[in-house]
Amino acid sequence: MKLTDRSIAALKPRDERYTVWEGQAFGIRVSTRGVKTFVWLYRFAGRPRRLSLGRYPGTGLADARLKVAQARKQLEASIDPGAVKKAARQDAARNTFETVAEEWLKRDQAKNRSHTEVARVIERDVMPYWRRRSMAAITRRDCLDLIDGIADRGAETMARRVHAHLHRLFRWAVGRGILEVNPMADLPKPGRVNPRDRVLSDAELREVWRTAGVLGYSFGPIIELLIITGGRREEIGALAWTEIDAEGAAIKLEGARTKNGKPRTIPLSPVALAIVEGLPRVSPVEGSPPYLFTTTGRTPVSGWSRAKKLLDAKIAEARGEPLPAWRIHDARRTVATGLQRLGFRLEVIEAVLGHVGGSRAGIVGVYQRHSFEDEKRRALDAWAVHVTGLVEGERPAENIVPLAAGHRPA
């Protein structure tokens, strides 16, 4: 019979599976549950074979006929259409978003210090939608819908991060020959970046410091060290006792532990050293570093968001209203601004923060090899005096900054 959409729609399931043929090779098979699948019979290397062309109505009659025409051309070229389909199916299974993303994280992101955070973002915001999808089947429209959905829930900053991660992932996949085209190419980012310029006032800094003391181990002293050293959250939160030089009163980080990949020394003022020496010692699990801040002995502390919420709640309780929105990273900006107010030079402030750009970028960074270690120590000692004065209710000691060699007011 001549197959038409009307005749196919009229086919009903029977007690046994049956096939309605159009000619001797092309037909549609009907299962006992009423599932209708286009099939084509052919011979390859002298053996009869059957090629499934897709289920109706997902695969239309015209699409099925087109697939038959393509299969005939493959036969004419001595290619088995069934083997081609099987290879394509295996390739699609091998190149699902999940498998490619895992390979990307291992090969392209392994040395990225934010590897864990990138993996977490992909797992939470992308995998639920694309985990089993073939990479080749993910379109530009799919990418736009995913990112817009994140932005629409009010997480515009996260939408921009997902945009950046996916763009790099798909670009890597193109470079590896997994994809022909990057669907993220030239896809506009959602919203706009709002530069962060939040600096804690002296009164706010005092409130944060005093409340951190109430939190106790481990986030209380972490917050205090972030304020007193200007260190990064990841640097201080994952400190190991082997990175503490008590005799030299300094934190010594290898390149693998810093954002720019360069070794970094953070001088410890008497205030900072007292915080470190007052910490409990948690025995490490065999094979793990002896972390300063840990509850398991195996890994550094986690739960930053929960600790920040608790800190904010206690501050609000003490002052009668919430502190204006701030982030833990604002402590670094506050240290930089405070040191500038105390009269320290830009190069010294950048050295304290561990920055390699700014005044030390380009040709200056190549030839300027001075580490500013003495200047960094004087700066952080002066900052500790300033913070101590705030906390104890005394007048900040701006006028006692030592004007020693290597330091002059800006």
* CATH number of 370's domain: 1.10.443.10
Tokens of 246: 């008590």
> Does the residue 180 lie in any domain?
no
Shared domain for 101 and 81, answered yes or no, is no
- Rounded to whole angstroms, the Cα distance separating 46 from 228 reads 81
> Does the residue 170 lie in any domain?
yes
**CA-to-CA separations, 106 to 109, 182, 365, 380, in angstroms, rounded:** 6, 20, 32, 39
Q: Strand (E) positions, 237-334?
A: 244-245, 250-253, 264-267
Q: Is the dihedral of CA 22, 28, 30, 36 positive or negative?
A: negative
* Residue 93 pLDDT: 64
Shared domain for 328 and 395, answered yes or no, is yes
Shared domain for 154 and 207, answered yes or no, is no
- The 8-class DSSP code of residue 3 comes to -
Shared domain for 242 and 169, answered yes or no, is no
- Return the exposure string of 230-263: e unless at least 16 CB atoms fall within 10 Å of the residue's CB, then b: bbbbbbbbbbbeebbeeeebbbebeeebbeeeee
pTM of the model: 0.56
Tally of structural domains, the chain: 3
pLDDT in tens, 34-63: 999 999 999 998 899 999 999 999 899 999
Range of the domain at 76: 5-89
- Rounded to whole angstroms, the Cα distance separating 56 from 35 reads 8
* Residue 123 pLDDT: 93
Which stretches of the chain drop beneath a pLDDT of 70? 90-93, 192-196, 356-369, 394-410
Shared domain for 34 and 102, answered yes or no, is no
> Does the residue 187 lie in any domain?
no
* Residue 159 pLDDT: 92
- Rounded to whole angstroms, the Cα distance separating 64 from 56 reads 9
* Residue 195 pLDDT: 60
Shared domain for 306 and 379, answered yes or no, is yes
Element (H, E) at 384: helix 373-391
